[in-house]
């Protein structure tokens, strides 16, 4: 990038690399910052009543283009249009974003990512499933660890810090919720968590 010594082509190539590193550092710093805020008592979930299907629809819209670009079908399976919960909507949004981003990343072209909601007597269950790479049994117990990430291909190295699922788990901990995962290598993965149901006064 230093002046005359580089050809236009080289200059472009270095700029591209620099930009990629910058983006990656940016998201690493963002994730680290988020996690340390969640660790310190400085973030207490701001609880409010909100509609889970509405949030899930927003997330689907947010990732629609990204999915299309990779020729992945992103679909919704909602068994209710009006299930309310009490939680921190901004934090639950982060949970869903991290899960959907992973699902798209680990699913090859032609695959499917599905966001689904089921209403249960005391809760609203939210699931993100994909028809992607799957996770080997011996890795499942590590995926929620900080900085853990599989080192297999799928471009996983490029934009990943290994903090996404640690953030997911931390946020759900703060909501007294747990996440479960079921996965089969080369078949797909399904993450599910429950939020308390909130029956709204009319």
Ligand X SMILES: Nc1ncnc2c1ncn2[C@@H]1O[C@H](COP(=O)(O)OP(=O)(O)O)[C@@H](O)[C@H]1O
Instruction: Give the binding site for ligand X (CB under 6 A).
Output: 98, 102-103, 106, 130, 132-135, 143, 148-150, 156, 160-166, 189
For ligand X, the closer of residues 64 and 158 by Cβ is: 158
For Mg ion, the closer of residues 6 and 23 by Cβ is: 23
- The SS3 call for residue 13 is helix
Binding at 130: pick from ligand X, Mg ion, none (beta carbon under 5-8 Å per type): ligand X
Binding at 113: pick from Mg ion, ligand X, none (beta carbon under 5-8 Å per type): none
For Mg ion, the closer of residues 59 and 83 by Cβ is: 59
- The SS3 call for residue 27 is helix
Binding at 156: pick from ligand X, Mg ion, none (beta carbon under 5-8 Å per type): ligand X
For ligand X, the closer of residues 94 and 149 by Cβ is: 149
Alpha helices in 40-192 (DSSP H): 52-69, 89-105, 137-140, 164-174
Q: Of 164, 191, 195, 198, which lies in the binding site for Mg ion, with binding defined by CB under 5 A?
A: 164
Least distance from ligand X to the Cβ atom of residue 184, Å: 10
Provide the β-strand partners of residue 130: 113, 189
Least distance from Mg ion to the Cβ atom of residue 98, Å: 6
User: Does 102 contact Mg ion by CB under 5 A?
Assistant: yes
Q: With contact defined as beta carbons under 8 Å apart, do 133 and 106 qualify?
A: yes
Beta strands 84-87; 123-130: pairing state: unpaired
Euclidean distance between CA atoms 202 and 188, whole angstroms: 41
Euclidean distance between CA atoms 125 and 132, whole angstroms: 22
Euclidean distance between CA atoms 49 and 30, whole angstroms: 27
Euclidean distance between CA atoms 157 and 20, whole angstroms: 12
Q: With contact defined as beta carbons under 8 Å apart, do 154 and 70 qualify?
A: no
Binding at 150: pick from ligand X, Mg ion, none (beta carbon under 5-8 Å per type): ligand X
Binding at 148: pick from Mg ion, ligand X, none (beta carbon under 5-8 Å per type): ligand X
Least distance from ligand X to the Cβ atom of residue 29, Å: 14
**Applying CB under 5 A, which residues contact Mg ion?**
102, 164
């Amino acid at each position: 990038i230093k002046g005359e010594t580089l050809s236009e082509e080289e200059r472009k190539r270095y700029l591209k690399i620099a930009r990629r590193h910058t983006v990656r550092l940016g998201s690493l710093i963002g994730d680290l910052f988020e996690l340390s805020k969640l660790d310190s008592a400085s973030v207490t979930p701001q609880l409010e009543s909100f509609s889970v299907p509405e949030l899930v629809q927003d997330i689907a819209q947010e990732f629609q283009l990204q999915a299309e670009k990779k020729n992945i079908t992103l679909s919704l399976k909602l068994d209710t249009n009006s299930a309310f919960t009490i939680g921190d909507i901004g934090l639950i949004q982060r949970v869903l974003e991290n899960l959907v981003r992973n699902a798209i990343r680990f699913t090859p072209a032609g695959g499917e990512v599905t966001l689904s909601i089921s209403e249960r007597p005391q809760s609203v269950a939210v699931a993100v499933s994909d028809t992607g790479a799957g996770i080997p049994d011996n890795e499942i117990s590590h995926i929620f660890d900080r900085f853990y990430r599989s080192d297999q291909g799928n471009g996983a190295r490029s934009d990943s810090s290994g903090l996404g699922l640690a953030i997911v788990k931390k946020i759900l901990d703060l909501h007294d919720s747990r996440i479960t995962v079921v996965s089969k290598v080369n078949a797909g993965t399904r993450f599910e968590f429950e939020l308390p149901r909130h029956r709204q006064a009319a």
